[in-house]
Structure 1
Amino acid sequence: MGVEEFSEEIYYDYLHTQQELTRNLFYGYDESVSPVFVRGISDEIITFKNANYSPKFNYTVYVYYLKMIDMDEPAEKVEFVLEIMEI
Structure 2
Amino acid sequence: MLDKPILRLTVTRLVGPTAPVVAPQWLTGHLWSQARADDRLEHVRVRVAPGRIGVALFLLAAEETGARLSARSICARALGASDELRDWRLAE
Higher helix share: 2
**Normalised TM-score (structure 2):** 0.23
**Normalised TM-score (structure 1):** 0.24
Comparing both chains, which one has the higher relative contact order based on Cα–Cα distances under 8 Å and sequence gaps of 6 or more? 2
Structure ID, larger Rg: 1
